[in-house]
Amino acid sequence: MTRFLTQDSSIPPYMAFPRFLLDKDGLNETAKILYTILLDRARLSQKNDGWTDEKGHVFIFFPIKNLAEAMHKSEMSIKTALMALEKENLIVRKRQGAGFPNRIYVKYPPEYLTQMDRNLSVRQTENCPTDGKQTVSVTDRKLSSSNKEKNNIKRINSESKDNRTAYGSYRNVFLTTEELSALQSEVPHYQEYIEKLSRYMVSSGKQYANHAATIRSWALQDHPAPVIRTYECKEDESL
């Protein structure tokens, strides 16, 4: 069931579609959507430690199989789209050795950062004469939504990085001293779970909001808490 959008509606999660892709006639729709997904993932990596190389370039891991599942496309379609993006110099892939996914560097044409849209300008507004409400600039609305999203990302990442130390082979599992101490006492073989999470995030391209909670969840799945049976009964009952 769908609902009408109102002024108080919460917007579902979405990805920002880069406008410059509208001018890329050499890319089909699959390649454009794929680039949007890769750019969205790169924006997350941009805000987190451990996802830049020695030159300061942000990279991501996103295996072809996972991309195919995310886009509901065949792996061959994803491979073709990736090659098209490479041809347009919008991504660079670097091999990491057998058994490891390629690093993907997402690139962009810098001239589009300052280019005004051909159809929209700051002065354009949406007029609503029938309800008597004040007109609001289209650009202002978009900037408001964009700024709100950026502020949320900054808040989440600043909270997640405070007093956290990077663990795991890929230095991408972040835990506070308190979280690490709690895992040591609660989770047997907690170090194995840290390594498992570190490798899994790299190989799958997935990221988690709370790494300590993820480790606890995995440990509970592997070792469910035993059911405690009680043998109490009422006075008029017998065991």
CB under 8 Å to 147, separation ≥6 — which residues?
Answer: none
Quick check: 232 pLDDT over 70?
no
Burial of 111 (0-12, 13-18, 19+ CB in 10 A): exposed
Instruction: Identify the residue with better confidence: 104 or 209.
Output: 104
Using the structure block, give the residue that is written with the tokens 């840290």.
194
Q: Phi and psi at residue 224, in whole multiples of 5°?
A: -60, 145
> CATH fold of 19-113, please?
Arc Repressor Mutant, subunit A (1.10.10)
Q: What is the residue-averaged pLDDT of the chain?
A: 79
Residue 159 has pLDDT above 90, yes or no: no
pTM, entire model: 0.53
pLDDT at 207 over 50: yes
Residue 165's pLDDT is 85
Q: Are 60 and 41 in contact (CB under 8 A)?
A: yes
pLDDT at residue 125 in the model: 47
**CA 30, CA 27: separation in Å to the nearest integer?**
8
Domain boundaries, the chain: 19-113, 134-159, 163-222
- Is residue 89 over pLDDT 60? yes
Distance CA 15, CA 68 (A): 17
Number of H helices, E strands in the chain: 7, 7
CA dihedral angle for residue 145, residue 68, residue 70, residue 35, rounded to 10 degrees: -10
Q: How far apart are CA 150 and CA 118, in angstroms?
A: 25
Tell me the pLDDT tens digit for each residue of 29-59: 999 999 999 999 998 888 887 888 889 999 9
- Count the Cβ atoms, other than its own, within 10 Å of residue 146: 11
H/E stretch holding 137: strand 136-137
